[in-house]
Amino acid sequence: MTMTNKIIFSGIQPTGQLTLGNYLGALKNWNKIQDDGKCIYSIADQHAITVFQDPKSLKNATLELSAGIIASGIDTNKHILFNQSGNPNHSELGWYFNCIARMGWLNRMTQFKEKSGKNSEKSSVGLFTYPNLQSADILAYHATHVPVGEDQKQHLELCRDIAQKFNHDYGVDFFPIIEPIINEQGGRIMSLKDSNKKMSKSDPSDNSRINLTDSKELIVKKFKKATSDAHLLPSSKKELEGRPEASNLISIYALLQDKTVESVLKEIGGLGWGDFKNKLADVAVEKISPISDEINRLMKDKGEIENILNKGVIKSREISQPIIDKTKQIIGFI
């Protein structure tokens, strides 16, 4: 397959604010691969309502997330940015995939277990079946490549299983078997407060994450308060082993500057935490503030963001409709 044959799809939920984890794990890659093929990026608002969302907040989060995606460099003249609920083909194909995926497959999804916690009986049915809708998001476009963070890996394996079972059951070679694109470095940015937990927009502690809309002062403060350990910064990968706080902050520092961890270790090895955190905060402010300024600018003209999404919805329907029509024909619907 040539580079330009790639159809790239990914999505983000409009719940809470965009975090540095979303940026380094997903958005930065979305941006990087723009010249490799056709990109279709979706605000996964139908996924968001698997947990109740206040309608006003959902609308605002959808616009702000769209602004964040545009501000981080996605060219919406060349590529498609749209809100999932604008294209009913996703939920239609999602239903067909509910009939393909097996209960056992979904029972194994770790994200459902984490999100539903001890009280899975009280979770919405949508939260359980959501990976089927995610597979439909991707396969409604016959996408071939999906750039995501590490936490989505299991959902993408399910997408491959669904495509394979559909093709097998109906004796067709119709849905592609997708390739996940997960950066080894940056695929899993951890919380600033607990390096065993991923950085998440739903963590109750705002100090656990950097939001792309945080002010310069707040970014500096959050890095200063980030959990560290009792040793000087390491100068080799060997010394970095078993030091999760240092690994996480060094990764962030490296990724923000497109440097390798090795070169960063040479630069900062032997520094105390105070000095390193100052350097990290400086780099973060330098990279994040232009994005946050652009988000603020875009949010002043919400009509413009809505236009971009509406245009994206129309294009998304154009691509997915023939695929849904063919799917129905394969299934045997009149």
Task: Write out the catalytic residue numbers.
Answer: 115, 198, 201
**Contact between 72 and ligand TYM (CB under 6 A)?**
no
- Segment 96 to 135, residues that bind ligand TYM, using CB under 6 A: 134
**Contact between 92 and ligand TYM (CB under 6 A)?**
no
Residue 104 CA to residue 329 CA, distance in Å, equals 28
How many CB atoms are located within 10 Å of the residue 234 CB?
A: 19
Stretch that binds ligand TYM, among 7-15, 53-61, 238-246, 311-319 (CB under 6 A): 7-15
Q: How far is the CB of 266 from ligand TYM (least distance, A)?
A: 25
Among 32, 51, 58, 151, binds ligand TYM (CB under 6 A): 151
- Which is nearer to ligand TYM, 114 or 275 (by Cβ)? 114
- Which is nearer to ligand TYM, 110 or 329 (by Cβ)? 110
**Contact between 21 and ligand TYM (CB under 6 A)?**
yes
- Rounded to 10°, the helix 89-98/125-139 angle is 110
Indicate the DSSP class of residue 211: B
Q: Which residues, in sequence order, are CB contacts of 16 under 8 Å at separation 6+?
A: 61, 201, 202
Strands 6-12 and 179-181: unpaired
- Which is nearer to ligand TYM, 51 or 330 (by Cβ)? 51
Among 7, 8, 10, 212, binds ligand TYM (CB under 6 A): 10
Q: Which residues, in sequence order, are CB contacts of 263 under 8 Å at separation 6+?
A: 254
What is the total count of residues that contact ligand TYM (CB under 6 A)?
Answer: 25
Q: Please say whether the beta carbons of 101 and 15 come within 8 A.
A: no
How many CB atoms are located within 10 Å of the residue 124 CB?
A: 13
**Contact between 189 and ligand TYM (CB under 6 A)?**
yes
- Which is nearer to ligand TYM, 51 or 332 (by Cβ)? 51
